Amino acid sequence: MKELKYIGKNVDKIDAIALATGQPVFTDDVEFPNMLYVKFLYSPHAHAIIEDIDTMEAEKIPGVKLVLTYKNTPQVLHTTAGQGWPEPSPYDTCIFNKKVRFVGDRVAAVAAESEEIAEEALKQIKVKYEILSAVFDPEDAIKEGAPIIHDEPGIMGVYDAKRNLVAHLEVKAGDVQKGFTESDVVVENTFETHFAQHCPIETHAAISYLDDYGRLVIRTSTQVPFHVRRIVGQVIGIPVSKIRVVKPRIGGGFGAKQEIILEEVVAYVTLKTERPARAVFTREEEFISSRTRHPMKITVKIGARKDGIFNAISMYALSNTGAYGTHGLTVVSNVGSKTLPLYNKAPNVEFKADVAYTNLPIPGAYRGYGATQGYSALEQAVDMLAEKLGIDPLELRRKNHIKQGETSPIFRALGEGREGVTQYIQSNALDKLIESGAKEIGWFEKKGKKERHGSKIRGIGMAILMQGSGIPMVDMGAATIKLNEDGSFNVLYGGTDIGTGLDTVVAQIVAETLGIRPDQVIVYAADTDMTPFDKGAYASSGTFISGGAVYNAALKVREMLLEEAKEIFGEHDSKDFSLEDGKIISLKSDKSVTLSEIAYRTFYVKKHRQIMATNSFTSESSPPPFAAHFVEIEVDEETGVVTLIKYVAAVDCGKIINPELVRGQTIGALVNGIGYALTEEYKFSEKGKMINPSFMEYKIPSSRDIPEIKTILIETYDPTGPFGAKSVAEININGPIPAIGNAIHDAIEVRLHSSPYTPEKILRELKKI
């Protein structure tokens, strides 16, 4: 194979210098004349009916242009989940609802000449609530007699609204009961994970305006421009042809921006007032009223033979989807579908799940998307089984994990909220990941040694992981590539770089395929008027699906360029050409022509066509990236504080398109995971109000909180992805909870069954408080 010039190289992120110099590239960095400022009124009650809402006083305030409530907005049931159509999330909300279902649910919005006026007007809105009893625990919520959270007529896609059950899943292969009976050792444990927020440093922001011809334009910090267009059209009742959605640079998303939560409001304000409208969440709103991670209670049971081979695995997940069901079904699907195939040696596998409404803030998509919760339980259970079997945890995992060429019945049985697809693993470096990670952390020297320094005891732990690359047979991306006179190319694609570096990956793919430099690729994305469709940034699909689309388009352009060259060279039957340094060279005759010459020729001399092509990509499989995480920690017996000493992430994401970007995705995800494992936690009042909505009280990691971090990238080649690439965005957020949990057990022989691992929980387990 020809040596790759740009794939696998550290090409600088193409937008980095603009960002590092503070160019006005984010949603809220532009202002429009006569812009209205939109602010929201939120419910102080966890569950109530709005008996009456009086906005007259608010509307009288000078500078107030419009007040919106359920009374004067379209009551169209929809989902805020920015998913493909038909969305697997229930239609259970309107732009404003007559019933409020958590503290922070939206009651009204004011559009005014300034934020101050809007805020003043909010205070003048009089709301009379009929307070209903609320339920916060998902176990209570699905019991007979619990308050029914969604009793509105017309609600769609809910499994059993009367029981607050958004979804119920049962999937199995073989016979787990028989499997457990025939096992020599069985362990069964329950683990709980908690609410958390994505905390993009740029909060949600959206600005809408009418263009010169009266069409609605929405500039928004979104991960899903095309789904925004479709769902806004649905909610406010205008065709997609009247809407243009523009994605500027995005200040982080992590799943929180895979939701339509501000766009439909600013759009409606603009439609009603014919003026630009802007809404930007405060940090407090981001915590309370945007989206969170689904907390779950997961019971996992594993049966194994004496030699360690798994005989049966069953998993039950109870997911708390809060007040609305966005992503409820699909996140819980991934608890099973992204974890159970990892241990395909077990012939008997069962996955069951329930998803419950409660009167708490709304979980949605969050990096890891159910796999995080699933691995929190599964990878600790595997360690507990190893202990019972007396087998080294590494060895136990080696015996049972999926190998190249193998499959799992779960791939077919369970997709995202529906049946999955059969797939065979075509690339898998897990054994090497385990080996190299173990060596880097010093596994065999340190495991079980409990090295003590005063009150501090060291421990090490590990976990292995997989994820997917896009949603097979669902996700589609498309791209257009066109040639310019200087031999450069415009790439117009619908993919959504939210800070990940996808636009750079795209430039590398095009440069490699067409024999030009990455800086000769002008990447534009995403804009629903200008670029072809793409599902957006989620499900670890950027490089794999959007990159795959760009690659397919580039191959078509390559063919067109070669046709021109054949004609120019008079070598119609030749197949041997090389594209490099902006030229096409005939290997037969050594003749060459530059891409610039081809452009001039086709534009002005032969005048027969614009060299350009559009192509799409969708995948029949979702090749999993794999990872092995290792961590060394120190537990202070006196204070209960867990301190990380070193974290090792060994990762197989297929062909590495850009090592520095892969490393950034890896470290960024695992540091987010470390925060989730140790300090990040929603605290609620007894009435269901989140009481720590700021970075003062909700502690995300800062530069001083990170341990020594070592990433080990082991390259494989997956034939399904562009240049052999798989995904890397999500997988590494899944490791810290189980790996640190296992390390805590190694240090002090305490098994914490709920995250985060706070000093209080450690001290309680040590019977010190």
Partner 1 sequence: MKVNYILNGEKKEFEIHPGEVLLDVLRRYGYKEIKGNCYMGTCGACAVLINGTPKTTCTTLAAQVNGAEITTIKGIGTINNPHPLQTAFVEKGAVQCGYCTPGAIISAYALLKKIPNPTEEDIKKALDGNLCRCTGYVQQIEAVKYAVKLLKGDDK
Amino acid, res. 626: F
279 binds partner 1 (CB under 8 A): no
17 binds partner 1 (CB under 8 A): yes
702 binds partner 1 (CB under 8 A): yes
CA–CA separation, 408 vs 336, rounded Å? 12
Which residues share a beta bridge with 530? none
Per CB under 8 A, the segment of 21-29, 36-44, 414-422, 466-474 that binds partner 1 is 21-29
- Return the ∠ at Cα 531 (arms to 529 and 533), rounded to 5°: 100
9 binds partner 1 (CB under 8 A): no
Per CB under 8 A, the segment of 275-283, 486-494, 573-581, 637-645 that binds partner 1 is 275-283
- Is the four-CA dihedral 189, 195, 199, 204 of positive or negative sign? positive
685 binds partner 1 (CB under 8 A): no
Per CB under 8 A, the segment of 171-179, 543-551, 561-569, 690-698 that binds partner 1 is 690-698
Tokens (6 digits) for 737: 């909870």
Closest approach of partner 1 to the CB of residue 112, in Å: 16
Per CB under 8 A, the segment of 43-51, 266-274, 508-516, 699-707 that binds partner 1 is 699-707
Q: Which is nearer to partner 1, 133 or 703 (CB)?
A: 703
291 binds partner 1 (CB under 8 A): no
638 binds partner 1 (CB under 8 A): no
681 binds partner 1 (CB under 8 A): no
Tokens (6 digits) for 352: 């069951």
Tokens (6 digits) for 745: 């057990």
CA–CA separation, 297 vs 355, rounded Å? 11
664 binds partner 1 (CB under 8 A): yes
Strands (E) located in 544-611:
577-580, 583-586, 592-594
537 binds partner 1 (CB under 8 A): no
Helix (H, G, I), strand (E, B) or coil at 572: coil
- Return the ∠ at Cα 498 (arms to 229 and 521), rounded to 5°: 95
Closest approach of partner 1 to the CB of residue 532, in Å: 24
Q: Which is nearer to partner 1, 190 or 282 (CB)?
A: 282
24 binds partner 1 (CB under 8 A): yes
Residue from 138, 415, 640, 668 touching partner 1 (CB under 8 A): that is 668
Q: Which is nearer to partner 1, 622 or 672 (CB)?
A: 672
Q: Which is nearer to partner 1, 199 or 633 (CB)?
A: 199
Per CB under 8 A, the segment of 92-100, 129-137, 622-630, 661-669 that binds partner 1 is 661-669
653 binds partner 1 (CB under 8 A): no
34 binds partner 1 (CB under 8 A): no
20 binds partner 1 (CB under 8 A): yes
Closest approach of partner 1 to the CB of residue 15, in Å: 7
**Omega of the bond leading into 62 within 30 degrees of 0 (cis):** no
455 binds partner 1 (CB under 8 A): no
Residue from 120, 701, 750, 764 touching partner 1 (CB under 8 A): that is 701
663 binds partner 1 (CB under 8 A): yes
Q: Which is nearer to partner 1, 667 or 766 (CB)?
A: 667
Helix (H, G, I), strand (E, B) or coil at 291: coil
703 binds partner 1 (CB under 8 A): yes
Closest approach of partner 1 to the CB of residue 308, in Å: 34
CA–CA separation, 652 vs 209, rounded Å? 44
**Helix and strand element counts for the chain (H, E):** 20, 27
Closest approach of partner 1 to the CB of residue 743, in Å: 19
724 binds partner 1 (CB under 8 A): no
Asked if 348 and 141 count as a contact pair (C-beta separation under 8 A), the reply is: no
Q: Which is nearer to partner 1, 1 or 696 (CB)?
A: 696
Element (DSSP H or E) covering residue 26: none
3-state secondary structure 441-483: HCHHHHCCCCCEECCEEEEEEEEEEECCCCCCCCCEEEEEEEE
Residue from 8, 200, 255, 624 touching partner 1 (CB under 8 A): that is 200
Helix (H, G, I), strand (E, B) or coil at 154: coil
Q: Which is nearer to partner 1, 343 or 647 (CB)?
A: 647
Please report, to the nearest 10 degrees, the dihedral formed by the alpha carbons of residues 391, 393, 394, 398 taken in order: 70
660 binds partner 1 (CB under 8 A): yes
CA–CA separation, 266 vs 264, rounded Å? 6
252 binds partner 1 (CB under 8 A): yes
Q: Which is nearer to partner 1, 320 or 658 (CB)?
A: 658
**Omega of the bond leading into 554 within 30 degrees of 0 (cis):** no
Closest approach of partner 1 to the CB of residue 367, in Å: 10
Beta strand 216-220 with 165-173 is: unpaired
Beta strand 243-246 with 216-220 is: parallel
Closest approach of partner 1 to the CB of residue 636, in Å: 20
The DSSP 8-state label assigned to residue 607 in this structure reads -
Which residues share a beta bridge with 712? 650
Closest CA to 349 of 322, 307, 378: 378
Residue with tokens 């590495």, as numbered in its chain: 656
Residue from 309, 568, 645, 709 touching partner 1 (CB under 8 A): that is 709
Per CB under 8 A, the segment of 8-16, 170-178, 290-298, 568-576 that binds partner 1 is 8-16
Please report, to the nearest 10 degrees, the dihedral formed by the alpha carbons of residues 204, 205, 211, 215 taken in order: 30
Q: Which is nearer to partner 1, 663 or 726 (CB)?
A: 663
**Omega of the bond leading into 361 within 30 degrees of 0 (cis):** no
Strands (E) located in 470-520:
476-483, 489-493
Q: Which is nearer to partner 1, 282 or 754 (CB)?
A: 282
203 binds partner 1 (CB under 8 A): yes
Element (DSSP H or E) covering residue 41: strand 36-42
Closest approach of partner 1 to the CB of residue 87, in Å: 26
Residue from 87, 92, 105, 202 touching partner 1 (CB under 8 A): that is 202
206 binds partner 1 (CB under 8 A): no
**Contact string (CB under 8 A) for partner 1, positions 473-502, x = contact:** -------------------------xxxx-
CA–CA separation, 574 vs 587, rounded Å? 9
10 binds partner 1 (CB under 8 A): yes
Q: What residues have CB less than 8 Å from 471, skipping those under 6 apart? A: 84, 415, 416, 539, 541, 622
Residue from 49, 667, 750, 763 touching partner 1 (CB under 8 A): that is 667
Phi/psi at 45 (nearest 5 deg)? -110, 150
CA–CA separation, 514 vs 724, rounded Å? 17
Per CB under 8 A, the segment of 41-49, 136-144, 263-271, 667-675 that binds partner 1 is 667-675
Closest CA to 228 of 353, 84, 350, 347: 84
- Using CB under 8 A as the binding criterion, the count of chain residues that bind partner 1 stands at 55
Closest approach of partner 1 to the CB of residue 633, in Å: 17
Closest approach of partner 1 to the CB of residue 254, in Å: 7
Closest approach of partner 1 to the CB of residue 23, in Å: 6
21 binds partner 1 (CB under 8 A): yes
Strands (E) located in 494-548:
521-524
Q: Which is nearer to partner 1, 203 or 543 (CB)?
A: 203
Closest CA to 302 of 293, 294, 289, 311: 311
Phi/psi at 746 (nearest 5 deg)? -65, -35
Q: Which is nearer to partner 1, 417 or 668 (CB)?
A: 668
Longest dimension (CA), the chain: 86
Tokens (6 digits) for 254: 């992590």
Applying CB under 8 A, which residues contact partner 1? 10, 12-13, 15-26, 29-30, 198-203, 249-252, 254, 280, 282-283, 498-501, 660-661, 663-664, 667-672, 694-696, 700-704, 706, 709
